[in-house]
Amino acid sequence: MKPQFDLHGKVALVTGASRGIGRQAALTFAEAGADVIVNYRSHADEAEEVAQHIRQEGRRAMVAQCDVADRAGMEAMFAKAAETMGTVDIVVANAAYSVRQPLLGMDWDGFRRTLEVTQYGVFHTCQLAAQQMVRQFHSGRVGGKILIISSVREMVPFENSGAYNMAKAGINHFGRTLATEMARARINVNIINPGWIDTPGERKYHTDEQLREAGAKLPWGRMGEPEDIGKAAVFLCSDAADYITGTMLLVDGGLLLSAGLDNSCAENE
């Protein structure tokens, strides 16, 4: 497939890239010409499989194991990425974690872990990315792209996802703040809010039949696929989006246009 947006000469780092949306973003970037750093926490075989696909595209791939909630580990990963790949031009903060429980009975450890990964992990990813890109800016390499994968849950308070909703709302406003501070260094910071996407995380809670039936009720007539987010990610991380920063792109197949939504909708783990 000929890429619509050319990323040749760019190096992209994607967190949570062994599965789901992160996996597809990494593969789509490679198809568009980028070399890719594949971050993962616990699915080593799947991360290596992603890297092999990237290499088959003729691109360089680096596999990097790290929990995004681990600040020291993230610092080490970014340092190694810059040393190994030479530069880091695109960073996608995708890794997330959630526990679906009513707030009244929510387990504190689950609540805390959700924020550590989904909110603090995005902070670590984006701050370290911005620091690396500013260093590159001062060395003569202009610009950089930071992309946050958020959720429609930052906009709609779906039940049983209090910690996740809270984290997603927080990272969206954080992303807009970072965009303001990074504009003079020509670092674009944008956000994608996926709707209900068919991912391994979603399949923890729904059967194939449930997903097919629910997808058919959405305005677009189907569930979202990781490919839908990957395409949007390539656009926002390409030169075609040079004048776009601090924006939120809704990729939900019209989910938020619907009335009377089932509260099980809208997960993008």
The pLDDT tens digits of the residues spanning 49-104 come to 999 999 999 999 999 999 999 999 999 999 999 999 999 999 999 999 999 899 99
Q: Look at residue 217 in the predicted model and tell me its pLDDT.
A: 85
Q: How would you write 96-127 as a 3-class SS string? A: CCCCCECHHHCCHHHHHHHHHHHHHHHHHHHH
In the residue annotation, 168 being an active-site residue is answered as yes
For 231-255, what is the mean pLDDT? 96
Q: In angstroms, rounded to a whole number, what is the distance separating the alpha carbons of residues 245 and 187?
A: 8
Q: In angstroms, rounded to a whole number, what is the distance separating the alpha carbons of residues 33 and 111?
A: 39
Helix (H, G, I), strand (E, B) or coil at 194: strand
Q: Look at residue 4 in the predicted model and tell me its pLDDT.
A: 61
CB 3 within 8 A of CB 25: no
pLDDT in tens, 2-59: 446 899 999 999 999 999 999 999 999 999 999 999 999 999 999 999 999 999 999 9
Catalytic residue of the set 18, 98, 120, 168: 168
Q: What is the model's pTM? A: 0.92
CB 267 within 8 A of CB 153: yes
Q: Between 20-31 and 44-56, two packed helices, what is the crossing angle to 10 degrees?
A: 20
pLDDT in tens, 192-236: 999 988 877 677 767 788 888 888 888 999 989 999 999 999 999
Catalytic residue of the set 97, 98, 164, 238: 164
Q: In angstroms, rounded to a whole number, what is the distance separating the alpha carbons of residues 53 and 48?
A: 9
Residue 266 — pLDDT band, cuts 50, 70, 90?
very low
Q: In angstroms, rounded to a whole number, what is the distance separating the alpha carbons of residues 67 and 35?
A: 21
Q: In angstroms, rounded to a whole number, what is the distance separating the alpha carbons of residues 212 and 214?
A: 6
19 phi and psi angles, rounded to 5 deg: -145, 165
- The CATH class of the 11-252 domain is alpha beta
Catalytic residue of the set 18, 151, 161, 238: 151
Q: In angstroms, rounded to a whole number, what is the distance separating the alpha carbons of residues 187 and 77?
A: 20
Domain boundaries, the chain: 11-252
For 99-125, what is the mean pLDDT? 96
In the residue annotation, 120 being an active-site residue is answered as no
